[in-house]
Amino acid sequence: MCATANEYNADGIQVLKGLEAVRKRPAMYIGDTGVRGLHHLVYEVVDNSIDEALAGFCSEISVVIEEGNSIKVTDDGRGIPVDMHATEGKPALEVVMTSLHAGGKFDKESYKVSGGLHGVGVSCVNALSISLIAEVHREGSIYTQKYERGVPLTGVEKIGACDENGTTITFQPDPEIFPEREYIYETLKSRLRELAFLNKGLKISLEDTREGKSKSESFCFEGGIIEFVRWLNESKNAICSEPVYFTGEKDGVQVEIAMDYNDGYSENLFTFANNINTHEGGSHLSGFRAGLTRTVNAYANNEGLLKKDMKSLSGDDVREGLTAVISVKIPEPQFEGQTKTKLGNTEVKGQVEQLVNQSLGAFFSENPKVAKTVIGKCIGAAQAREAARKARDLTRRKSALDSAALPGKLSDCASTDPAECELYLVEGDSAGGSAKQARERRFQAILPLKGKILNVEKARLDKILANDEVRTIITALGAGVGIGVFDIEKLRYHRLIIMTDADVDGSHILTLILTLFFRYFREVIEAGYVYIAEPPLYRVKKGKKEQYAFTEDQKDLLVEEYGTTGVYVQRYKGLGEMNPEQLWETTMDPEARTLTRVNLEDAAAADHSFTVLMGDDVVSRRKFIEQNADQINLDDLDI
């Protein structure tokens, strides 16, 4: 007898066996089933190969995107064991591929340090793949086993002989799980390059063999994270001739730190634990910050470098213009959840702090000229911070619900619920006027922007706050600005929609606003609150029939559908060309509009891109343009 809706007994308890739980709730294991989760499958397989490299048995990893968006990952490690498992009664390869929390990472004999501690990685990939083939080269023989949606189709078969060891995993994501199955080369490239930086001397190659997308690259960095910092500072003027590097080990915890100052104003700290990018920081980041602030202040006081009215430098002061990579390797890491974005090992804080105190203090003593330059920059940051504090007072709202301090250009919405409210940042007063007439006043606010805002990549916060347009945006958001001041809980709108013209100037304004958000409101991007409006490019009309096209292809299809005679095609170059009704129908109506959410997949790569495109280094920008010129469709250029 089955349990009815009003009953709760043993019949209502469902037991998911094997990998059924993964297929039932895939987001619990890989984050989501969108594009991010799709790429996470690759990272899980690569992480197994990285663990072999950390153990000293793997020197080369290859990732290939094959036709049909299947992925092949090959390493030259020891090969997954294929002998019979003592307690499970089946080959170890099958146990690893079909059982959660199975692997050689728990007893610390096979792996002293590993990233995939939860032991669900490759078995999750198997469960979420329509097909997977594991091929193992081990002890002179080649073995293979095939699976479908996590279920073995064959036993472990011996198919030949070999001279070298290694493992190859080839899988194709399941269309029942992933609605979008198109792998993005650049996304995989960013993560694989990052892993190559973090594992000095390890060669990682990426190849795309799909038709029309053929390309390949290899990454191998003998300098490890030193080269990582050098790459991050590539388009900046570094203060040190070479990044400062120090490393240490205590109680099995290995700590590596590379850092350098530049003449910019942004703080760029990237932390990793067992090769996992800990976006939310954790104990290693806390230890580094504490050690850095203490060491810089100690040296400045001992040498009498501080100004008379200064008692000490704050943490913000000593981190302005700093680029640093902190990488720790821990036998027993404690992460917050399977996503592993924050390190929780409390003992690591003291170890990192002590290493920074000793090593950075010694570096300053041995390089007094560099130390004085760094201290001078920190003092300049402190003075600018005080000036910014005074300027910031002008931008603060009395409270999140008080509109008395709002800028006059802002047409605010009636609702005071941030989750419901959205703010349109509109290019130009003309389009702003149309948007004000078109909007739904209850939840849509409009802020017209006059011309191009300041490029914040080239300015300190005190100068940024002196810019009228930027100050207007900050005031409208209502959450403050700056480290230790910005509070996302006070943000007045949970949808910030950038709406610019579909021309070169519009793209430039969009980029300038995104630079502002990335440098000073990154939490807003990470929370998924930033969007880009997608206005139509064309209006196609014949008689009383009228439709909008957002791409050239859509326009051509509509013209073909309507016939070639009597068809009127209007190309929109500016938002101001649309009347309020058209603007509402195409770009502002929540039921019909198209918005692109701005995501932050790789903070290090994003920082590098913003520096190249928006910084002072013209040579790097020219090089970027030359390298990517082949991706430009000349028909899309507004010339």
**Residues designated catalytic:** 427, 501, 503, 505
Tokens 């790569």 belong to residue: 605
List, in sequence order, every beta strand (DSSP E) within 295-443: 322-329, 422-427
* Residues 6 or more apart whose Cβ sits within 8 Å of residue 566: 542, 543
φ, ψ at 315 (rounded to 5°): -60, -40
* Residues 6 or more apart whose Cβ sits within 8 Å of residue 441: 413, 414
**H-assigned helices in 1-109:** 20-24, 27-30, 35-54, 92-98
124/133 Cα distance (integer angstroms)? 14
Contact 401, 418 (CB under 8 A): no
634/632 Cα distance (integer angstroms)? 6
Q: Which residues of 268-280 are buried (b: 16+ CB within 10 A; e: fewer)?
A: bbbbbbbbbbbbe
338/188 Cα distance (integer angstroms)? 20
CA 580 to chain centre: 36
- Nearest Cα to Cα of residue 486 among 473, 477, 496: 477
Handedness of CA 624, 627, 632, 637 (dihedral sign): positive
Tokens 């409270």 belong to residue: 399
Tokens of 327: 């990488």
90/434 Cα distance (integer angstroms)? 69
CA 398 to chain centre: 33
73/92 Cα distance (integer angstroms)? 19
Rg (CA), the chain: 28
Q: What is the 3-state secondary structure (H, E, C) of 314-335?
A: CHHHHHCCEEEEEEEECCCCCE
- Nearest Cα to Cα of residue 63 among 183, 174, 211: 183
277/271 Cα distance (integer angstroms)? 6
DSSP designation for 588: I
Residue 176 region by backbone torsions, left for phi larger than 0, else alpha for psi between -120 and 50, else beta: alpha
Q: Biggest alpha carbon distance in the chain? A: 84
- Nearest Cα to Cα of residue 360 among 301, 299, 408, 412: 299
Contact 304, 248 (CB under 8 A): no
